[in-house]
A and B are shown apart, each in its own frame.
Chain A
Amino acid sequence: MDSLIQFAQQDLGNPGLAALLSNPSFAFIQLMNSFSQAMNLFIIAAGLSLIFGVLRVINFAHGAFYMFGAYIVYSVAQEWTGNFWLGVAAAGLGLAVMAVVIERGLFQYIYDKEHLMQLLLTFAVVLILSDVAKIIWGTDQYSVSYPASMKGAVDLGVTFYPTYRLFLIVVGPAIAIGLWLFTERTRFGRLTRAATQDREMLSALGVNVPIIYTGVFILGSVLAGIGGGLAAPFNSPTPGMDATIIVDCFVIVIVGGLGSIWGSFIGAIIYGLVFNYGSVIVPNWQDVFPFLILLAVLLVRPWGLFGKPEGGNA
C-alpha cells in the first residue's frame, strides 16, 4: 500500500490519488459526496425520464423547472418564512402549477408532431422561463441556509459528515422506491404504463389519456422543483443553473436508459462516483466527465443500462 501511495505521489505526480490512497476518511468522504450528489441529481433526472417514458417528449425546460424550484425555495424559505421545508413544499407546489399551465397550454399540442417541432417548442419554453426568472429574481446569486435541524454534522465513526447531505442520501432511495411502487402498484401507475405501450387502445377502453399525460407531466415537474429546492443550500440559485443541470440529467437518463426509474438511479450513482473521484484525481477534466461516461455507455449499450433497444416493445 505504501509503495502504491509513493507511486501515485512521486511517479505519477498525482497528489489527489495519493491522498485517496493514504487517507481512508478522505476517500470515504468522496464516496459519501458521490452518493449525496447522485441522489439529488436522481430526483431531477427521474422526473425527466418519467416524462419522456410516457409522453415521448424530451423536455428541455426540465432544467428551468429545477432552477425555479431553487429560486422558490430562496424566496419562501430565505426571504419570507425562514422555514426551509416550507420552501421545498412551495417549490413542489409551484412547479405543479407551472406544469399544468405549460402542458395544457403548449405541450399537449405537440405529442403527435415530429421531434424537431417538440425540440423547438421545449427550447422556446427554456428561453421564456429563463427570462421570466431574471425578471422576478434578477441576476444575483442567492444563498440559501441549510435547514435549522440539519446544520451540523453526524459522527459516522470514520469521520464526521454533514447531516443535510446524509439526509439527501436517504431521500434518494426513498423517492426511487416511492416512484417504483407508484408505477407498479397503483392503478394510475398501471394506466401510465399502458399509455406508454398503446395510447390509442387505452383510449378505446374508456381512459382519458390526455389526463394521464397531464398527471405524469405534473409528477415529473414536481420532482424537478423539489430537486432544485433541495439543491439550493449547496447550489446557490443563479441564472444559468438550468443549463448545467439539464446536461447532467441527460447524461444520467441516457446512461440509465430512457424511461427507467432504476436506470436513472444507477446512472446518477455512476455519475456521482466518476465526478467526485475524478475531480480529485484529474481536477482539470471535471467538465469532460459527463461526456466520457456518456460515450462509454453509448459505445457498449446505446439504449442505456436499463433501457430497451429501439423497437423492443411494439
Chain B
Amino acid sequence: MAQLEARNLHTSYGLSRVLFGVSFEVEQGSCIALIGRNGVGKTTTMRSLIGLTPPSEGEVVWEGRQIAGLAPHTVAKLGIGFVPEDRRIFPELTVWENLDIARRPAEPGRQAWGEDEVFDLFPDLKDIQSRAGGVLSGGQQQMLTIARSLMGNPRLLLLDEPSEGLAPRVVETLRERVRTLKESGLSIVLAEQNLGFVLALSDTCHIMEKGEIVYSGTPDHLRENRDVLDRHLTL
C-alpha cells in the first residue's frame, strides 16, 4: 500500500474551482514531482493534502487513514511536513526561534531531527541563529523553511517550488540537500518548474494542466519524450 494516496481531489477557492480530480500515489521513501505551468494547481494540491484548503470531494489516504478535512495541525502531527512556495518564515522571530516553534519529537526508533541535526545539514544556518528571519537572503530563507519543517520530524515532505527565485549555485546546493533527505528515507512531493531539479530527484513525474494530471511517467521516460514536455510546459 502506498504511504500517501490522493484520490480524485476536487478543490475550490470559494466559487472558483481549481482542481478537477487529481489522483496520485507516493510510495514510502520515494519522490514524486508535480510539474506544470503557473496556475495549473500544484500549490492547491499541496494545500489540499495538508488541510489548508480542504478538498470538496475526494480522499487523502495517509498511511491507511483518511485524512481529508482534518485541521492542518492534526495532519502535520500525523507526519506530513509543509514547505510553502513563499517560504513564510516568521520575520520577527530569529532563525533559532523559527526552528524552535516547529519542534516536535520523533516517534521512538526513528532518526530524530533537532537543531543539531538541522545545522549539520544546513551549516550556514548555524552562524545566523540569532538573526531575524525577515532579514535573511532568499537562499537562507529556503534552507530555513526546509529546516523548520524537519524539526517536526515528518515522514513526508510537501516541497513547493524550492528553487524559485534562487541563484543557480544555491539551487545546486539545495538539490543536494534534498537528495540527502530523500536518501535518509523521507518521502517527498515536489512541485517545481525547474526541470533539472525535477529530473534529478524524482521517481515519478506528474504533469498538471488546468487542475488535472495529464501525464505521468518516470524521469527517464520524460527525457526520451521531449515532445510531452514541449506540449505541456512551454507556452
How many contacting A-B pairs (Cβ < 8 A)? 65
Report the minimal beta-carbon distance from B101 to chain A, rounded to whole angstroms: 5
Q: B135 interface residue, CB < 8 Å from A?
A: no
Chain B: how many interface residues by the 8 Å CB criterion? 24
B90 touches A209 (CB 8 A): no
A204 touches B101 (CB 8 A): no
Report the minimal beta-carbon distance from B171 to chain A, rounded to whole angstroms: 23
Stretch of B35-43, B69-77, B196-204, B226-234 with 4 or more beta carbons under 8 angstroms from chain A: B69-77
Report the minimal beta-carbon distance from A306 to chain B, rounded to whole angstroms: 14
Residues of chain B within 8 A (CB-CB) of A197 are 90-93
Of all chain B residues, which has the CB nearest A191? B101
Which of the residues A200, A202, A313, A314 comes within 8 Å of B101, measured between beta carbons? A202
Chain A: how many interface residues by the 8 Å CB criterion? 19
Q: B88 interface residue, CB < 8 Å from A?
A: yes
> Which among A197, A201, A202, A203 has the highest number of chain B CB atoms within 10 Å?
A201
A206 touches B71 (CB 8 A): no
- Supposing A202-B101, A206-B152, A207-B73 touch, asked if A313 and B91 sit within 8 A by C-beta, the answer is yes
Residues of chain A within 8 A (CB-CB) of B57 are none
Report the minimal beta-carbon distance from A308 to chain B, rounded to whole angstroms: 10
Binary CB contact string for chain A from 181 to 223 against chain B (1 if under 8 A, 0 otherwise): 0000001001101100110111111111100000000000000
B100 touches A206 (CB 8 A): no
Residues of chain A within 8 A (CB-CB) of B134 are 313
Which of the residues A194, A206, A207, A209 comes within 8 Å of B93, measured between beta carbons? A194
Chain B positions near chain A (C-beta within 8 angstroms): 50-52, 71-73, 76-77, 82, 84, 88, 90-93, 97, 100-102, 104, 134, 148-149, 152
Given contacts A204-B50, A204-B72, 4 further A-B contacts (CB under 8 A): A200-B72, A203-B72, A203-B73, A205-B152
